[in-house]
Structure formats: structure tokens, C-alpha cells
Copies of this chain bind each other. A is one copy, B any other.
Amino acid sequence: MSKTAKSMGEQAHAMLRHQIISGAFAPEQPLRLAQLQERFGVGFSPLREALTRLTAEGLVTSEPMRGFRVAPLSQEDLRDTMETRAFVETEALRRSIRRGDDDWEARIVSSLHALGRQFERSGPDQPESLAALEERHRDFHFALVSASGSRRLEQIIDSLYVGSVRYRMPSLSNRQSTPARDLMAEHGAIADAALARDEALATCLLDEHYRLTAEMLSMAPAAPLGRTG
């Protein structure tokens, strides 16, 4: 079961990606090669490849001869990203409701169940269960749109998810910032409407879900946006 060690490039990519997403580096912070080499114990070449890939993913910015920085965050980008997610994912959900088979339904039921379990288990401040919760949440939303039949739509949804997860991470840790919101009920309602093949209701609920999320995140960002921190 011990898989052969992945390439240094992939390792570096995964580690850096995780640390940026979880907020270990502040937005706009310079990412110096020497510093990263010491931190991760890999040479320049794999690091450069990792940073180039992260730049393409939008998590890192780069300027020629001036190195790499953690990509900035902003209220404007948060709003844009969530609106675009809503636009694209409602379409993918619509298509999935039309084309989804038994396996699609099963994926929704199973991922919703797993999300609920993790939600119960997740206490206030365990970084471990926090990452698990985020993964379950992601799985559920991907399951919803997993029968769209469009590879391109899936890729777009994936990249928009990456662009939004950094905003959600800090707010997940302090649970009190979700005042009058029953997340599991929202997710359950979306799943029910999808399984009932009610396009209008399901897409409307999903749209509202993202609107609420965007509002909540822009209200009380745990880390001030647009600062170098």
C-alpha cells in the first residue's frame, strides 16, 4: 500500500498548494526560492515547476525577474468568483438533473451523508477535522454537478472552486460567524430538489446558497482582505 514516492515536483506542488489554501502564507507575500527550499527540502527546479503550476491555477502571481508571490485576495474577486460559480454550477446542475442516472443520485446521497457526519463531528478548532469538512463539502458540490456531461464545465467549476476556497477557509474555523444559518438544511434541500428532478427549485436553491455564502464571507473575513498581513 506504500505508494512509490511521488516526484519532488508533485510533492512541492501539493505542499505549497495546501499551505497557501490553508492560509499559512499571507496574500501578496513574496515566495522566495531559498526560503522554500529550506522549508520543503527540495531543489530549485521542482519548486519552480510547482510555482509555475500554482500560477496557472491562480493561487500565485509571478513577475519576470521579480519572483513569485501569493495571489492577492479582494472583496471584488470574492464577489466575482461566487457569482461566476453560481452561474456555471446552476447550468451544470440543470444538465445533471436532465442526464443524471442512478449512480449520480447515489453520489449525491452518499456525499451528503458523509458531509453530515463530518459536520456533527467537527468541533470548534481542530485543523484536521476542518480540512476533512472542507473536503466533504467540496465532494458534495462536485457530486451535484457530476452528470453534466461536459468536461469543460467540470474544469471551470474546479478552477472556480480553487479560487474560492481560500476565502472560506478562515471563516470555517470560527463557527459563530454563521449566525442564523443551517448549512446542513440548505445542502439537504438542494439535494432533495435535485433528486426530485426539480430543475427550477434546485438551481434556485443552489444560487441562493452561493449568494448567502458570498454575503457571509464578505461580512466577516477572519483575515482582513487586501492587506499584506
Q: Which residues of A contact B (CB under 8 A)?
A: 6-7, 10, 45, 48-49, 52-53, 55-57, 64-65, 77, 80-81, 83-84, 87-88, 91, 150-153, 156, 160, 163
Contacts and interface: CB of A to CB of B under 8 A. Distances in A.
Nearest to A57: B56
22 contacts: A6-B64, A7-B64, A7-B65, A10-B64, A45-B45, A45-B48, A48-B49, A49-B49, A52-B56, A53-B55, A56-B57, A80-B151, A80-B152, A81-B152, A84-B150, A84-B152, A84-B153, A87-B91, A88-B88, A88-B156, A152-B163, A156-B156
A91 B156 CA distance: 15
Given A53-B55, A56-B57, A77-B151, 6 more contacts: A48-B48, A56-B56, A80-B152, A84-B156, A88-B156, A152-B160
A56 B160 CA distance: 15
A77 B80 CA distance: 27
Contacts of A52: 49, 52-53, 56
Contact of A150 (B10, B48, B83): B83
